[in-house]
Structure 1
């Protein structure tokens, strides 16, 4: 029964591209934005100011520096990885976790800004 609460919470915090954009870029609050896609995808393009967290180990290292009350936004290519990551974050005690509905693909289709400068 314990994990069902985490699953319910994860499903409630899925934002459309418009909602995600507003929360991350317009509301001017301190947020942490993580890209859960693989490194080769991240290198080509990503959401502006997103940090690559493509492995659980790498993500865990970032989380060591983030307070449990932090506001965390996560996305992947289509939204599948974010659901699992959100549930994991809830089990670690993070409460303010938001996912991008449809992932990076939907974000790009909707015409929202991306950082397409290739990282070397």
Structure 2
């Protein structure tokens, strides 16, 4: 797992052709906006969250974020334990995100 600054995370993501953005916040938080094209898996779902992770392609590079960087750090740790080689945590999370934001309908 790597903790990346907002700039490094965004720059690396932009160049990565094998990237998947993963939002691990609650649905209520996602309703306030999401990084475009992110997959939403709520870390608070416990075992269901782990089961959903297991269904993801472990050969991809995952850019993981939450509200402030804490839960996404935990998620990256869980992903590493499950055999994901590349999980990048967004330091500062969505609260400090300066990039594009999408809103779900």
CA distance in 2, matches of 1:15, 1:94: 17
Give the greater-gyration-radius structure (CA).
Answer: 1
Higher share of residues assigned helix: 1
The secondary structure found in structure 2 opposite 1:99 is strand
Per the TM alignment, residue 61 of structure 1 is displaced from its structure 2 partner at its CA by: 2.2
Which of 84, 87, 96 pairs up with 1:97?
A: 87
Per the TM alignment, residue 94 of structure 1 is displaced from its structure 2 partner at its CA by: 0.6
The answer to whether 1:16 aligns with 2:5 is yes
Task: List alignment gaps of at least 5 residues for structure 1.
Answer: 1-9
Per the TM alignment, residue 69 of structure 1 is displaced from its structure 2 partner at its CA by: 2.3
TM-score (norm 2): 0.85
CA distance in 2, matches of 1:104, 1:61: 22
Which of 20, 34, 37 pairs up with 1:32?
A: 20
Q: Which runs of 4+ in 1 moved over 4 A?
A: none
RMSD between superposed Cα atoms in Å: 1.7
Task: List alignment gaps of at least 5 residues for structure 2.
Answer: none
Would you say how many aligned residue pairs link Structure 1 and Structure 2? Answer: 102
CA distance in 2, matches of 1:59, 1:52: 13
